[in-house]
């Protein structure tokens, strides 16, 4: 890993445009690199919905944020597949610092917990 690895920072909001605190943000590499778990990055948002993903290798990624990861494995392409259209596509080069705003994805587990 280069000392000039990229960083992706940003904020996650709820569907009501409020900060999504304590939710996971995950950078998932393009399909050709998805089997390499070392290229995935994840982080929890802070109380303001902000996050910083460090150590990102150059390449193409999709950035996701889920409200719950119970029984969810973002390394499993089949589990990610239903959410593909909700990820933010981002391309990073060595030394980049990119910014993205996400809307948290409500999972079935979290929806059932609210009932």
Q: How far apart are CA 47 and CA 55, in angstroms?
A: 23
Give the per-residue pLDDT at 103: 96
- pTM for the complete prediction? 0.82
Return the structure tokens found at 83: 């959410």
Give the per-residue pLDDT at 80: 81
The percent of residues above 70 in pLDDT, for the chain, comes to: 84
Residue found under tokens 């909001």: 13
Residue 114 has φ and ψ, to the nearest 5°, of -75, -20
Q: Name, in order, each residue with C-beta under 8 angstroms of 111's C-beta and a sequence gap of 6 or more.
A: none
Q: How far apart are CA 110 and CA 4, in angstroms?
A: 37
Q: According to the CATH classification, is domain 6-114 in 3.40.1410.10?
A: no
């Amino acid at each position: 890993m280069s000392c000039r690895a990229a960083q992706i920072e940003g904020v996650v909001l709820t569907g009501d445009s409020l900060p999504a605190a304590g939710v996971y943000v995950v950078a998932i590499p393009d399909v050709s690199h998805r089997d390499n778990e070392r290229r995935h990055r994840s982080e929890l948002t802070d109380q303001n919905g902000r996050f910083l993903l460090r150590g990102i290798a150059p390449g193409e990624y999709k950035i996701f944020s889920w409200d719950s990861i119970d029984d969810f494995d973002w390394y499993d392409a089949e589990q990610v597949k239903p959410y593909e259209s909700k990820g933010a596509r981002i391309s990073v080069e060595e030394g980049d610092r990119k910014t993205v705003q996400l809307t948290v994805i409500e999972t079935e587990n979290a929806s059932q917990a609210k009932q």
